[in-house]
Amino acid sequence: MKVSELCKAAGFTLVTDKQDNDREIGGVYACDLLSWVIGRAAQDAVLVTVMTNVNVIAVAVMADLSCVVLCEGVSLDSAALQKANENGVAVLSSDKPVYETCLLINKVMCNK
Amino acid sequence: MKELSLNILDIANNSVKAKASKIEICVTESKKDDFVSVDIADNGCGMDEQMLLRVIDPFVTTRTTRKVGLGIPLLRQQAIDTDGHFDISSKPSKGTKVHADFRLTHLDRPPIGDIASTVVSLIFASPDIRYIYKHKTDSGSFMLDTDQVKEQLGDIPLNEPEVITWLTEYINENLQCIEGGKI
């Protein structure tokens, strides 16, 4: 499933510019402790988090993640948004909490 | 990171890579003033202003091989997120100082972790470096200077297993006396 397909099927909002959204999703990883995410999240995974600072994007680049899904309607700070666009990291927004967001992603990926 | 001790380990490892011969680690915890602070100072090769900006920015070097990991940006974020402060200063060929403080009672403040094992593992890995570890609390303070320990040990190397065991116990006993390391 592609990032753009996930966004549409799950009803998420695309926060970043329209770039790299054709990237294939290779799994889901939910965590807010960013030092924990590095080295644990698999390549191409979706990172599900409530963290919104610039380091989230740095971790997405380092761990080569397919996209970031922000939960509970939190928004990226301006520096993070700029870095996400510069580095081609797709960021989606969900109004649901982390657990429900993960369930929803699972549901749409299974229906694919 | 999960524990402040892991941050200390990470930052002190940067000092080791910077070829420091002396590393000072100072932990201050105050319930009275509601803060925990960590200061790490070394006499290593230091950085110019350009390099300093690079280690704070999590991006500049992510595409090439990073000499320094994300440890500094993540520590800075954790300090700010818990109503604390972060500061780093450095002078080429003089050394680097890192300061981070956190609000003790902030729910997102990481626990201190096993500080004795952290300090001892640093000493064990680089016994030639002079480590000065200070720990202060509201009830007192104590200091461990590996140069003084070496003087007492004479010919026995600092990373001898028995010495390492003793050092760990020594730190833990002193922490207990000042009611430190339990936050």
Q: A34, A35, A59: best mutation site toward chain B, by most B Cβ within 10 Å?
A: A35
* Chain A residues 62-81 with CB within 8 Å of chain B: 62
- Does the residue B20 lie in any domain? yes
Q: Do A34 and B74 touch (CB under 8 A)?
A: yes
Pairing verdict, β A67-70 and A90-93: parallel
- Does the residue B26 lie in any domain? yes
Would you state the pLDDT for residue A19? 66
Which chain B residue's Cα is nearest to A33? B1
Q: Do B73 and A58 touch (CB under 8 A)?
A: yes
Residue-number span of the structural domain to which B25 is assigned:
4-177
Residue B122 has pLDDT above 90, yes or no: yes
Count of CB atoms situated within 10 Å of the CB of B83? 16
Would you state the pLDDT for residue B38? 97
- Does the residue B182 lie in any domain? no
Residue B144 has pLDDT above 80, yes or no: yes
Closest CA to A64 of A88, A86, A81, A80: A88
Would you state the pLDDT for residue B4? 94
Question: Exposed, middle or buried: residue A2 (CB in 10 Å: 0-12, 13-18, 19+)?
Answer: middle
0.90 surpassed by pTM: no
- Mean per-residue pLDDT, B64-90: 85
Q: B2, B61, B77, B109: best mutation site toward chain A, by most A Cβ within 10 Å?
A: B77
- Mean per-residue pLDDT, B98-102: 97
The domain that contains A21 carries what CATH number? 3.40.1390.20
Would you state the pLDDT for residue B65? 57
For chain B, the domain total comes to 1
- Mean per-residue pLDDT, B2-16: 93
- CA torsion angle for B104, B110, B112, B113 (degrees, to 10)? 160
The set of residues, in sequence order, having a beta carbon less than 8 Å from that of A23 and lying 6+ positions away, is A2, A3, A44, A66, A67, A90
Q: Among A18-27, B50-59, B75-84, which range has the highest average pLDDT?
A: B75-84
Residue-number span of the structural domain to which A10 is assigned:
3-111
Q: Do B59 and A83 touch (CB under 8 A)?
A: yes
| Closest CB from B2, B6, B59 relative to A58 | B59
Residue B75 has pLDDT above 60, yes or no: yes
Q: What ipTM does this complex have? A: 0.70
For chain A, the domain total comes to 1
Closest CA to B84 of B66, B96, B94, B99: B99
Residue B67 has pLDDT above 60, yes or no: no
Would you state the pLDDT for residue A111? 86
Pairing verdict, β B22-30 and A46-49: unpaired
| Closest CB from B2, B6, B70 relative to A55 | B70
Name the residue with tokens 């303070």: B141
The domain that contains B20 carries what CATH number? 3.30.565.10
Q: Name which residue leads in pLDDT, B155 or B99.
A: B99
Residue B60 has pLDDT above 70, yes or no: no
DSSP state string for chain B: --SHHHHHHHHHHHHHHTT-SEEEEEEEEETTTTEEEEEEEE-SS---HHHHHHHHSSSTTTSS--SS-THHHHHHHHHHHTT-EEEEEEETTTEEEEEEEE-TT-TTPPP---HHHHHHHHHHH-TTSEEEEEEEETTEEEEEEHHHHHHHHTTS-TT-HHHHHHHHHHHHHHHHHTT-S--
Residue B69 has pLDDT above 90, yes or no: no
| Residue stretches of chain A with pLDDT short of 70 | 19-20
- Does the residue B134 lie in any domain? yes
- Does the residue B97 lie in any domain? yes
